[in-house]
Amino acid sequence: MNRGIVALAVIVAVVVAVIALGGGHSTNGQTQPPAKPDPSRPAPPPGPNIVVPVKIVLECEKPTKLEDKAADGSVIMRIGSAHMGKTIGYLEIPDGWIKTCGLENVKGEDTGGKLPGKAFYEFDAPREDEYYICLRAKWMDSCGNSVWVRIDDRPYVGVEDEIGKIDDSNFKWMWHPVTEMAKIKVFKLSAGKHVLELNTKEDGPMFDKVLIATDANVPGESEVDP
Ligand SMILES: [Ca+2]
Ligand SMILES: [Ca+2]
């Protein structure tokens, strides 16, 4: 390369650097006041660093696929509706077909998926993120206050708690977080299609909605439509 062109390029680079470093200063060394925002102009759109929370609500009475029969053909999951100011639809595991309290198998073992009664719900995660799951459910009693939950083909997670208890056989509709080690469980999901499954753990409970959200807060009793 010609030495003259190289020298010119160096000079141009130095001038550009001086202008860049001196940005905001006038040539006489006086600092310019910052420009005031023009109220006639619309506010700029949110930048890419502003993350919008995600809330996906699944109605339990509208499964993508329902396996509602036991081996003998009896119906062990059914869709119902209740009127509480407004009508809500729900999925119910009717009471009376599980003889022993809890699992027919050994309680405490990871036996999710062994009992009949499975409801599947397809949903779309809009982005890869950490999600939390809550169920709006009404338990029946201490032998009807649980369900297995899983995403895709991951291990089943048991949900069992005393939330909404008025007395031993009387519970309110409440939101139940899917927990692990006494903390709300984190589900790392990729963007795109996933399937949430509800599987029988005990008979008796009813399920209104599933909330899958990037916000870990559990909705309150009055938040029927989160
Ligand atoms: Ca029961
Ligand atoms: Ca519902």
* Residues paired with residue 166 on neighbouring β-strands, in sequence order: none
Closest ligand by atom to 81 CA? 2
Q: Measured in angstroms, how far is the CA atom of residue 110 from the centroid of ligand 2?
A: 28
Residue 99 CA to ligand 1 center (angstroms) comes to 8
Residues in the chain: 226
pLDDT tens over the chain, length 226 residues? 455 555 555 545 444 444 444 443 444 445 555 566 666 777 666 666 788 999 999 999 999 999 999 999 999 999 999 998 889 999 999 999 887 765 555 454 557 998 999 999 999 999 999 999 999 999 999 999 999 999 999 999 999 999 999 999 999 999 999 999 999 999 999 999 999 999 999 999 999 999 999 999 999 999 999 9
Nearest residue to 165 (alpha-carbon basis) of 87, 104, 221: 221
Which helix (H) or strand (E) segment is 87 a member of? Answer: strand 86-92
Give the distance (Å) from ligand 2 centre to CA of residue 198.
14
193 CA to centre of ligand 1 in angstroms:
33
pTM of the model: 0.76
Reduced to 3 states (helix: H, G, I; strand: E, B; else coil), residue 15 is helix
Q: Which ligand is nearest to the CA of 146?
A: 1
Span from the CA of 49 to the centroid of ligand 1 (angstroms): 48
Q: Please name the helix (run of DSSP H) or strand (run of DSSP E) that holds residue 13, with its range, or none.
A: helix 3-21
Say how far residue 149 (Cα) sits from the centre of its chain.
13
**Residue 82 to residue 101: CA distance in whole angstroms:** 26
| 217: DSSP letter | P
Integer Cα distance of 177 and 157 in angstroms: 11
Q: Which two tokens stand for residue 149?
A: 């939950």
Instruction: Give the phi and the psi of residue 32 in degrees, each rounded to 5.
Output: -80, 140
Q: Other CB atoms closer than 10 Å to residue 20's CB: what's the count?
A: 8
Distance (Å) from CA 64 to ligand 2 centroid: 14
The bound ligand whose nearest atom lies closest to the alpha carbon of 104 is 1
Among 217, 119, 134, which Cα is nearest to 173's? 134
CA of 60 to the centre of ligand 2 (A): 5
Number of C-beta neighbours around residue 195 at 10 A: 14
Of all ligands present, the nearest one to the C-alpha of 143 is 1
| Residues 147, 198 contacting (CB under 8 angstroms) | yes
Out of 3.10.310.10, 1.20.140.10, 3.40.50.10610, 2.60.120.260, the CATH code matching 55-213 is 2.60.120.260
Taking the centre of ligand 2 as the mean of its atom positions, its distance from the CA of residue 115, in whole angstroms, is: 23
- Tell me which amino acid residue 128 is: E
Residue type at position 92 = E
Q: How deeply is 142 buried, as exposed, middle or buried, from its count of CB atoms within 10 A (0-12, 13-18, 19+)?
A: middle
Which ligand ends up closest to the CA of 103?
A: 1
pLDDT score, position 43: 66
Nearest Cα residue to 157 out of 149, 166, 169, 147: 149
Cβ atoms within 10 A of the Cβ of 58, count?
21
What token pair was written down for 5? Answer: 């062109």
* Ranges in the chain annotated CATH 2.60.120.260: 55-213
